[in-house]
Structure 1
Amino acid sequence: MSEALTLARPYARAAFSVAKDGGRTQAWSNMLGFAAQASGVAGVQAVLGHPTASADTMVDLLMPPGDSDPNFRQFLVVLAENRRIDLLPEVAALFDQQRAESERVVKATVTSAQPMDEASLAKLGESLRKRFGQQVEITTAVDAALIGGAVIDTGDVVIDGSLRTKLARLGAALAN
């Protein structure tokens, strides 16, 4: 996995540079997401992995319908010619990470024991915005095993306020 990230990083940087220069970072993010998903489909993987598959054939399978960005097409051609199409999921993830940093947006995943209402999410979002000094994009998940509370994961920072963790710490303290 780390080798794939290492190989994907220069491609993601190049893609981000081209997209940013063209003012199309959102469009490129969408196109990379589409191509990454398409590359994971079993039938498409068979064609992409075939040693005689041409770069144009591979690119035609991965181009999003309706968008004919010549720079994106050329980017896919470079990946195909270098036999790096399999890095598309990592390239897309690294691209989105660079885009979020560029737009000064922190992506946070909030996992709670029960679904959170809109008012609680808005209050939490405001608190996170103050803490990080950036806009915060929140995605939610539910994990009943947390018992109560929530875990906030921003990638670099994890804030674990779950009842499960508090009980585990209490148990550890009592055992000592």
Structure 2
Amino acid sequence: MAELTTVARPYAEAVFSLANEQQRLGAWSEALAWLAAMVQNPVVTKFVTEPKHTAQEIEALVLNVLGAEQVNAEVKNLVVTLIANGRLLLLPEIAEQFELLKAEAEGVLDALAETAFPMTDEQKTELIDTLSKKYGKTVRLDVRVTPELIGGVRVLVGDDVIDASIRGKLQDMAASLKN
């Protein structure tokens, strides 16, 4: 996974730089999402990976499926470059890296809250407010119910983990008893 990220990052940074310069972050975000979804389709993946198909055939397929409203010269250049370098199947990772760069530029931070039980809207709002104050950014919160936590909440923000779950506290207690 880390290797894919390492290979995809320069492409994502280049696209982000161009999109930011042109003030077209939204349009690029949409185009990359379409491209990523397309290459994840098993039929397209098979077509792209079969050696009998030429770069021109692969380009024609991708651009035709994408549609005229999504294709401009820059999108076409990206597709051609990825095909030429054998990196077309990296599009999902490129799109993901692009979205991270876009969110950072827009001052948005993605957070994942794992809870033992569903959160109320009031609890979500309170958690978003707390995280926004802590990180100084707008927070987009994704909530997942994880019954294994027993109770409480575990929040993942980038590389930070805030574990206020009962399971986490029990694990901390067990570790301190062993020492």
TM-score for the superposition, normalised by structure 1: 0.91
**2 CA distance for matches of 1:158 and 1:91?**
25
What is the alpha-carbon distance in structure 1 between the residues aligned to residue 169 and residue 60 of structure 2? 52
Give 1:146's aligned residue: 149
**Match for 1:35: what amino acid?**
L
Alignment equivalent of 1:90, drawn from 89, 93, 108? 93
The letter of the residue matching 1:172 is A
Which SS does the other structure have where 1:161 is aligned? strand
Q: Matches of 1:154 and 1:61 in 2, distance apart? A: 38
Q: How does 1:32-43 map to 2 (within 5 A)?
A: 32-43=32-43
Percentage identity across aligned positions?
Answer: 35
After superposing the two structures, state which structure 1 stretch, 28-37 or 116-125, moved more.
Answer: 28-37
What does residue 82 of structure 2 align with? 79
SS at match of 2:38: helix
Question: Is 1:137–2:140 an aligned residue pair?
Answer: yes
Q: CA RMSD in A?
A: 1.7
2-structure distance, mates of 1:35, 1:45? 12
CA offsets 1:122-145 (integer angstroms, 9 cap, x no match): 111011010001111111111111
Structure 2 gap segments, 5+ residues each: none
The runs of at least 4 aligned residues of structure 1 exceeding 6 Å deviation read none
Question: For residue 2 of structure 1, what is the amino acid of its counterpart?
Answer: A
Following superposition of structure 1 onto structure 2, how do residues 31-110 of structure 1 map, counting pairs within 5 Å? 31-63=31-63, 64-65=66-67, 66-110=69-113
| Distance (Å, rounded) in 1 between the aligned partners of 2:54 and 2:100 | 30
Is the 1:59–1:77 contact (alpha carbons within 8 Å) kept by the matching residues of 2?
yes
Residues 25-62 of structure 1, C-alpha deviations (whole Å, 9 max, x = no match): 12212221221122122111111102232334334444
The answer for unaligned runs of 5 or more in structure 1 is none
Normalised TM-score (structure 2): 0.90
Alpha-carbon displacement from aligned partner over 1:53-110 (angstroms, at most 9, x marks no partner): 2334334444534423331122111111111112112111111111111111111011
Aligned with 2:118: secondary structure?
Answer: coil
Equivalent pair of 1:34/1:62 in contact (CA under 8 Å)? no
Which residue of 93, 114, 118 corresponds with 2:117?
114
